[in-house]
């Protein structure tokens, strides 16, 4: 059995660790992702977050401006008014009753 020294910690290769766990009647240890796999996973999560942020921004740019504008056409029924009321808007969009 070969032991590699990494800093002050002794490390055993994965096949040796699997054999040691099996001989002790335990499940083999989970594989530790390599640096490339970790990097790819982090880039995947970053890309997914970027796509989600772009989708939320697109929805916000479409829905929010539509909700912010008041109704300028048609008729509205309001409780408490005794007679018809006409609301006109000037060229700047300011309502006048």
Domains held by the chain: number: 1
Q: Contact 56/45 with Cβ under 8 angstroms?
A: no
pLDDT value, residue 45: 92
Instruction: Please write the tens of the pLDDT for every residue from 23-81.
Output: 777 766 566 556 667 778 888 999 999 999 999 999 888 888 777 777 778 888 888 88
Residue 11 domain flag:
yes
Residue reference for tokens 């096949």: 15
Residue 15 domain flag:
yes
Give the strand pairing for 4-6 and 9-11.
Answer: antiparallel
Largest CA distance in the chain: 97
Residue 71 domain flag:
no
Residue 13 domain flag:
yes
For residues 92 and 27, give the distance between their C-alpha atoms in angstroms, rounded to a whole number.
Answer: 75
Residue 51 domain flag:
no
Residue 1 domain flag:
yes
pLDDT value, residue 93: 83
Q: If 0-12 CB within 10 Å is exposed, 13-18 middle and 19+ buried, where does residue 64 land?
A: exposed
**pTM of the prediction?**
0.39
Under the banding of pLDDT at 50, 70 and 90, the label for residue 86 is confident
pLDDT value, residue 55: 94
> Which residues span the domain enclosing 7?
1-32
Residue 63 domain flag:
no
């Amino acid at each position: 059995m070969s032991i590699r020294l990494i800093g002050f910690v002794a490390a055993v290769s994965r096949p040796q660790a699997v054999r040691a766990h099996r001989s002790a009647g335990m499940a083999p240890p989970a594989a530790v992702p390599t640096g490339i796999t970790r990097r790819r996973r982090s880039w995947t999560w970053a890309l997914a977050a970027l796509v989600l942020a772009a989708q939320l921004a697109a929805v916000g740019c479409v829905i929010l401006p539509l909700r912010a504008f008041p109704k300028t056409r048609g008729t509205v029924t309001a409780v408490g008014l005794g007679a018809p009321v006409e609301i006109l808007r000037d060229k700047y969009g300011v309502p006048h009753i």
